[in-house]
Amino acid sequence: MARLKVRISFPDRCKGCGLCAHFCPKEALVVGRNRNVQGYRVVEVVAYEKCTGCGICYLMCPDVVLEVK
């Protein structure tokens, strides 16, 4: 069975607040340098292989940017 993994499904909603990255226990996310249509820096997955699919980032994001599939 495939393991659950994080996806940045709606990057244009991201406000670059960093909550998801702060609370990720695996340090799999960072707020990157690329900006979205709103002008905010967008979160990126930097250690996809470390993601356990725990869903904490999904729960923390106030703008429902992330999905765990």
Q: Is 30 in the site for ligand SF4 (CB under 6 A)?
A: no
> CB 2 → ligand SF4: shortest distance, Å?
14
For 28, residues 6+ apart whose C-beta sits below 8 A from its C-beta are: 6, 45, 46, 47, 48, 50, 51
User: Minimum Å distance from CB 33 to ligand SF4?
Assistant: 13
Task: Single out the residue of 7, 30, 32, 60 in contact with ligand SF4 (rule: CB under 6 A).
Answer: 60
Residue 69 touching ligand SF4 (CB under 6 A): no
Cα–chain center distance at 54: 12
Site residues (CB under 6 A) for ligand SF4?
6, 14-20, 24, 26, 28-29, 31, 43, 51-57, 60-61, 63, 65-66, 68
